[in-house]
Amino acid sequence: MARRPFVCMSEFRAAVASAMTEHPQSDHGPFDLRLNLLGRIPDPAGLPTLPRVERSLSPVVDLVLDTLIDTYDAPTAERVMSVFHMIDWTPKVVDGRLAQLVLRLTQPSHLNDIPVINRLICTDPEIVTDSMIGYLVHHQLLHRLFRADSHNDKFLDLDRRWPGAAEARAAFADIHERWDTRPESYPAPPPPPLTPRELANKKRLRELRARRKAEREERKQLAHRDGTAPR
C-alpha cells in the first residue's frame, strides 16, 4: 500500500528519525560499486559496446526526489536537494567507478560534493533503467550525508530501502562481463564551449582549491610546531 504524503515537515522529521533508530542492523556486508575491469574477462574486446543514447538525468532526479521525500527527514532531504540541479554525467566514459562524488563550485565561494554518473551507462533505458541510475545517485547522496561513517549499518539500511536496490547491484556487479566497459571503446563526445560564467566559475574553483591546499599546509605546520615546541 502506498504511503500517504507527509502533511508537515515535523511529521517528516519524526518519521525518518524513528526509522533510522528502530531499523535492525543490516544483515548484508558492504559492497563496492567500482567497475572491476581487470582479471575476470579473458577477452573484453570480444564483448559488445553499450549503445550510445542521448539521455537526460531529469527523470532520474525526479525519482530520487520522490524517494527522499518518502524515506528521509526534512533536514536530510534539504541537505541533498541543494545539489540536485548539478547531478550530471561524466564528460566521457571513465575507468573506475559507476558513480562518484566530485567537487563542484555551487556558489561563488563554496565547494560542494556533487554525484556524477559514469557516461558508460548513458545507454538504452531498457539496458540500464532510470531506477538503476537512481540507485547510484541515491548511494552517492548517502555518502554525502554519512561522510566518514559511510557503509556503516545505518548507511546500508538506508541504501537497501531504494526500490530495486538488490536488483540494481546485481545488474551492475557483472556489467563488465556482458558489455565492453573499456573507456577506449567509447569515443568521447566533443565538449560544449564554456560560457563566460562557466569560465569564471572554473577560475574560482582553481582559486578555492589552492586556498584549501594552503590552509591544510598551514594547519600541518602549526600542528607540527605545537607538537615539537618545549612545554
My answer on whether 62 and 171 are in the same domain is yes
Which domain covers residue 84, as residue numbers? 28-191
Q: Using alpha carbons, list the distances in angstroms from residue 71 to 20, 86, 163.
A: 10, 22, 11
| CB-facing half-sphere around the CA of 122: CA atoms within 13 A | 22
Tally the domains of the chain.
2
My answer on whether 203 and 187 are in the same domain is no
Any idea what the CATH number is for the domain that residue 163 is in?
Answer: 3.30.2010.10
My answer on whether 77 and 158 are in the same domain is yes
My answer on whether 113 and 216 are in the same domain is no
The answer to whether position 218 is within a domain reads yes
- Give CA–CA dist 20/73, Å, rounded: 10
My answer on whether 74 and 100 are in the same domain is yes
Sequence-ordered list of residues with C-beta below 8 angstroms from that of 189, at least 6 positions apart, any chain? 91, 92
pLDDT digits (tens, 9 = 90+) for 104-125: 766 655 667 888 999 999 999 9
Alpha carbon 100 to its chain's center: 5
Q: What is the pTM of this model?
A: 0.65
Tell me which of 59 and 155 has the higher pLDDT: 59
Convert 165-174 to b/e letters by CB count within 10 Å (16 or more is b). Answer: beebbebbee
Give the SS3 label for residue 6.
coil
Residues shown for the chain: 231
Tell me which of 9 and 192 has the higher pLDDT: 192
My answer on whether 187 and 78 are in the same domain is yes
The answer to whether position 101 is within a domain reads yes
The answer to whether position 214 is within a domain reads yes
pLDDT at 89: 93
My answer on whether 180 and 209 are in the same domain is no
My answer on whether 169 and 231 are in the same domain is no
Q: Which class for 43: exposed (0-12), middle (13-18), buried (19 or more C-beta within 10 A)?
A: exposed
DSSP line for 106-171: EETTEEEEEEEE-GGG-S-TTTS-HHHHHHHHHHHHHHHHHGGGTTSHHHHHHHTTSTTHHHHHHH
The answer to whether position 11 is within a domain reads no
Contact in structure between 157 and 23 (CB atoms under 8 Å): yes
The answer to whether position 8 is within a domain reads no
pLDDT digits (tens, 9 = 90+) for 33-77: 554 433 345 566 688 999 999 999 999 999 988 888 777 777 777
